[in-house]
Structure 1
Amino acid sequence: MNNRIIKFNITEIKYRNAAKIFDTIDRGYMPSILTGNGPQDISKESIIGLKPYIDITIKDPTNIWEDLRTLNNSTNFHSMPYPINRVGAIGYISYEALHTLEKIEKQTVDEYEFPLLNWIIYTEYYYVSQENCKAWHIELKYDKEPVITGKNHLDKGFKVHNLQPDFTPEEYKENVVKVQKAITNGDVYELNLTQGVKGSFEGSPYSLFKKLYSNNSAPYSAYLERKGYTVVSNSPELFLRCDKNLVETRPIKGTAPRGTKKNEDDRLKKELVKSKKNQAELYMIIDLMRNDLSKVCTYGSVQVVTPKRIETYKNVHHLVSIIQGELKKDIDYIDLFKATFPGGSITGCPKVRCMELTEKIEKSSRNLYTGTIFIMNREMLNSSIVIRSCVIKDDKIIFNSGGAITIDSDPKEEFEESKIKLQSIYKAVEDENNI
C-alpha cells in the first residue's frame, strides 16, 4: 500500500480559532476537527481534515494492529515540511479492540454496530498553532486520485428525546457495591465503572458539537463525520502524545464539581487535592501507566514529571498526572498502543482483571467510549481518551459516564459524580429546543 504525498501547497492564512474556521468553510463529506481549549501546555494546536483521500474502516479483529501499522507506514507526512509534518491520519480505536490484546470473554451487549478502527487521510488540512498564533491551509496531492464523495451534514439544530440510562440510580449504586466486594476479595484495587445512556436524535450532529464547544470546550474536543454515523467528543484527557520517540501520557483521576461562587469553588478544589480517596486513585493509575510505558520505553526513561496537579474546566476540577518516557529504537506507535491500550485511567488496576469484571457488571458495550481518537503519522502522535463524548447513529444518540470505584467510595456520591461528568452534554441537550 502506498499513500504518499507527491505535491503540496501551503498557504498561511489569518489566525483564527479552528472552530471558527471549521464553522465558516465548506466542510464537504466526512470532515474531521480536533481542537479545544485548556491549559497552555495541552492546547497547542488544532487540525481540520477535509476531502478524504482514503477512508479505512476495520471491523474484523484478526489483524487490526498490523493493518494499522501498514497504513501508518504507507504515508510520508513525517518527511514533509512544517506544518504538513504536524498532520496525518485522523481516526479512532474502539475500546472493544481490547479483545484483540487480551483473552477476555465478551459479555456486554452491543446496542449498535460500530467499527474497531477508523483511519482517514485527507487532501486538505487546516493547521492552527495556538502556541504561535498562526494558521495554514494545506492542499495535498497523492499518487492516486481520491474517489470518496458524498453529501455533507447541514447545520440545522437538533433535538434529543427519551434519554434512557442502562441502570436506575439504585442499580448503579448496587454495581458500586459489587465492585467494592471484588476489592474486599482482593480481585482488584480500583475499577472504573460506567454506564451507557441512549436516546432518539433529530437534526444535525454538528449543531450538537457547536453547542458543546461553546458551552464547555475541552482540550480534546473532536468532531468526526463518518459514513453512517458521527462522533462528537468533548474530552479533557490526553491518552498518548509523541514527538518522534518521546512519549507522554496524562491520566485523570479525581473529579470535583465547580462552585457557584469563588469561595465555594476554592473550597471544592482544596478538598479534591486533599482527598485521600482521589489521591489513592491517581497514584494507582500512575503506577499502572508507568508499568505499561516501561514495556516499550528505554530502561530508566519513564518518569513521573508531575505527580499531581489541578486542571479546572467550566463544570469540574480534575486531578491530573504527567508521565513521560523515551521509546526504544525498534518500537513504533502501534507497539506503543498495544502496550498501553486501553488507557489505565478508564479500566482500573490491575488492568486485565478490571476489564474482565467490567464485562460482567456493565450492561452495554462501550464501543468507542473510553477508546481513543487520534491524529498520527510516522513521527507524531496525539490521542485522547474518549470520554464526555457521543455517537450519533441511525437517529439515535449514545453516550456514557462513570468513575473510579475504590473501597472508600460512597455509592451515592459515585452516582452523583457520574452525573456531573455528563453535565455539559445534558446542558447542550436542554438548551436546544428548535430544529
Structure 2
Amino acid sequence: MYIKEIITALDSFQLYSIFKDRPYSFFLDSGKNYERLGKFSFIGFNPHLVFKSKDQHITITQEGKEDNFTGDPFDSLREIYNQFQRSYDSEFPFVGGLVGYLSYDMCHHIEKLPRTAVDDVEIPDCFFGLYDGIIIVDHIHNRTYIASLGIKAEAKEVVEEIAKMIGVAEEKGVEINLTNKQQVELKANFTREDYIKTVNRVRDYIKSGDIYQANLTQRFQCEIEETPFELYGKLRSINPAPFASFIDFGEGHIVSSSPERFIQIRNDIIETRPIKGTRPRGKTPEEDQFNRNELLNSEKDQAELLMIVDLERNDLGKVSKNGTVKVTELFHLEEYPTVYHLVSTVQGEIKEEYDVIDCIKATFPGGSITGAPKIRAMEIIDELEPTQRNIYTGSIGYIGLNGDVDLNIVIRTIVCKDNKAYFQVGGGIVWDSDAEMEYEETLHKGSALMKALNSK
C-alpha cells in the first residue's frame, strides 16, 4: 500500500470532473455532516475488473476479456472479494476495492419472492468495479491524498500517475459549467388518486394482520437534455448529503443525494442508520421550527421508526455475537435543505464465522424501505408497485479489501439512461397513515430532485 498527500486548490467536485469521462468513474461524495458522517469523499476510475449481473446472468470483464456465465451474484462477488482480499491498516476508511451498487431486486437472490412488477428501465441488478488508485478528500482537515494497494501495478507508480494527471489539469485550469436546460415534464407511474387508493390497500393489509408497516413508492420519469454530470452538479448544490454519489456504470449513470446509511462495517462492528419520519422545511423560521417540533413529538413517526429499529436489531442479530446488538441512538433529528428526518443507529459485533457478503445478505434490503415483517412487506410491494424498483432502495458504496464496508440506502436518487431520468419517492405506511398526507410526503421527498431536473 502506498499513500501520498498532494497539495491542490481543487475541491472534491473539481477533482472528480478531471476523471468523469474515464471508464466507469465514480464519486462517493460526502457533501454534508463532515464531523459525523461525511468526513471523506472518494474518487476512482478505470477499474481493474468490472462485475455486472442481471438475474442469474453474470459478466466479469478483466483486462479486455469478458467472461459470461450463470450463477448466484452474491457467490460470485464473494469469490472476487476473496481473490483480492488483503490485510492492511489505514487511517482512511477506504483505500481501494469494490465500488458500485446492489439494486433492490437483488433481494430475489436472498428470499423467494414474487416478481410481477415490470422491468422497463433494464439496468444491471448489480454493478461493482474493482478499483485501485483512489483519490481521498479529507473534509475535516481539508487535505487530499491518493492511495493504491498495488492491484493493477506497482502502488507508487499508480499514485504518481494520478498525481501527474491532477497537476496537468490544474495547470490548464478546471472549469465546470452547469447549464440550465429547458423545463422537463414528469410522468408518474401512479396518479394521485391511484396512489391514495394504494395507500389504503396497504392499510387493509395492516388491518388484516399481514404487516405492521410497508414502504410504498411511486416513480417519476422524464426526458433530459443535460448530461448526468451537469444534473449531479445541480443536485449536490441543492441537496448536499452525507452518502451522495455519482457512478458511471457503463450503460447509464447514478445521480444520488442519499442521506441514509444502509450498513457500515469497520473493526468488525456493523452499524445501520434507518430513517423514518419526514417533515418539509418551512418557508419561514417559525414554520421551520414548528415542523421540527411536530416531527420530534409525533407518536406516529416514533412508532414507525421503532418498528424498523426492531427489524434492524433482528437483522443485525443474524450475524452479530450474542448480547452485542444495541441501539446507540434513537429519534435523532437530522436536517437537510428540503426536509427533516428522524434517524436511529443500531450496532452489533460481527461473529468470526461471517464475512462481509454474509453481513450484506443478512440485512439487505434495508428494513426502512421495505416494512415489517420484512418478507411479507416485500411481497406486498411487488403486488402494489407497477414497476420494478431497480437501483432505488438498493445500496451504493464500497467494499474494502480489508473487510471495511460502507453502503447507503438508495433514496433521493436519479437513474439516467438513454436521455431519460427516473427517480422514486415513497414512505412507510402504517395504520395511522393519512393517504393524502402520504402522497404529499412523496412530493416533499422528491422536491430537491424535481428542482435539479427543472421540472414543471
Compute the TM-score of the two structures, normalised by the length of structure 2: 0.87
Runs of 5+ unmatched residues, structure 1: 1-6, 147-153
Question: What root-mean-square deviation, in Å, do the aligned CA atoms of Structure 1 and Structure 2 show?
Answer: 2.2
Q: Which residue of 1 aligns with 2:46?
A: 51
CA contact (8 A) 1:179 1:405 kept: yes
CA contact (8 A) 1:160 1:201 kept: no
Q: Once the 2 structures are TM-superposed, how far is the Cα of residue 195 of structure 1 from its aligned partner? A: 1.2
Deviations 1:149-184 (A, max 9, x none): xxxxx9774556332100110000000000000000
Q: Summarize the alignment of residues 129-144 of structure 1 with structure 2, pairs less than 5 Å apart.
A: 129-139=138-148, 141-142=150-151
Partner Cα separation in structure 1 for residue 199 and residue 453 of structure 2: 27
Partner Cα separation in structure 1 for residue 14 and residue 338 of structure 2: 23
Partner Cα separation in structure 1 for residue 83 and residue 94 of structure 2: 14
Q: Which residue of 2 aligns with 1:119?
A: 128
Q: Which residue of 2 aligns with 1:20?
A: 14
> 2:56 matched to 1:63?
no
Q: Which residue of 2 aligns with 1:106?
A: 115
Runs of 5+ unmatched residues, structure 2: 57-70, 159-175
> 2:37 matched to 1:36?
no
Equivalent AA in structure 2 for residue 247 of structure 1? I
* Structure 1 residues 156 and 29, CA gap change in structure 2 (3 angstroms): farther
Q: Which residue of 2 aligns with 1:285?
A: 308
Q: Which residue of 2 aligns with 1:230?
A: 253
Q: Which residue of 2 aligns with 1:409?
A: 433
Equivalent AA in structure 1 for residue 408 of structure 2? S
Partner Cα separation in structure 2 for residue 351 and residue 13 of structure 1: 48
69, 75, 79: which is aligned to 2:84? 75
Partner Cα separation in structure 1 for residue 268 and residue 79 of structure 2: 19
> 2:102 matched to 1:93?
yes
Q: Once the 2 structures are TM-superposed, how far is the Cα of residue 121 of structure 1 from its aligned partner? A: 2.1
* 2:424 match: secondary structure: strand
Deviations 1:356-394 (A, max 9, x none): 001110001000000000211132101100001011112
* Structure 1 residues 112 and 330, CA gap change in structure 2 (3 angstroms): same
Partner Cα separation in structure 1 for residue 14 and residue 422 of structure 2: 26
Partner Cα separation in structure 2 for residue 128 and residue 15 of structure 1: 12
Partner Cα separation in structure 2 for residue 86 and residue 140 of structure 1: 7
* 2:224 match: secondary structure: strand
CA contact (8 A) 1:36 1:220 kept: yes
Higher strand share: 1
* Structure 1 residues 140 and 269, CA gap change in structure 2 (3 angstroms): same
Q: Once the 2 structures are TM-superposed, how far is the Cα of residue 84 of structure 1 from its aligned partner? A: 8.4
Shifted more, 35-44 versus 204-213: the winner is: 35-44
> 2:402 matched to 1:393?
no
Q: Which residue of 1 aligns with 2:220?
A: 197
Partner Cα separation in structure 2 for residue 126 and residue 57 of structure 1: 24
Q: Once the 2 structures are TM-superposed, how far is the Cα of residue 42 of structure 1 from its aligned partner? A: 0.8
Q: Which residue of 1 aligns with 2:59?
A: none
* 2:184 match: secondary structure: strand
Q: Which residue of 2 aligns with 1:4?
A: none
Q: Once the 2 structures are TM-superposed, how far is the Cα of residue 122 of structure 1 from its aligned partner? A: 2.5
CA contact (8 A) 1:159 1:203 kept: no
CA contact (8 A) 1:47 1:87 kept: no
> 2:344 matched to 1:352?
no
Equivalent AA in structure 1 for residue 137 of structure 2? V
* 1:203 match: secondary structure: coil
Equivalent AA in structure 2 for residue 99 of structure 1? H
For this pair of structures, how many residues does the alignment match?
419
* 2:117 match: secondary structure: coil
* 1:138 match: secondary structure: strand
Shifted more, 27-36 versus 224-233: the winner is: 27-36
* Structure 1 residues 84 and 358, CA gap change in structure 2 (3 angstroms): closer
Q: Once the 2 structures are TM-superposed, how far is the Cα of residue 81 of structure 1 from its aligned partner? A: 5.0
Q: Which residue of 1 aligns with 2:60?
A: none
> 2:186 matched to 1:163?
yes
Q: How much identity, in percent, do the aligned residues show?
A: 36
Q: Once the 2 structures are TM-superposed, how far is the Cα of residue 115 of structure 1 from its aligned partner? A: 1.2
* 1:323 match: secondary structure: strand
* 1:79 match: secondary structure: coil
Deviations 1:177-214 (A, max 9, x none): 00000000001101100011121122310000000001
Deviations 1:289-345 (A, max 9, x none): 000000100001000001111000000000000111110011111001111000000
Q: Which residue of 2 aligns with 1:330?
A: 353
Partner Cα separation in structure 2 for residue 85 and residue 9 of structure 1: 12
> 2:284 matched to 1:261?
yes
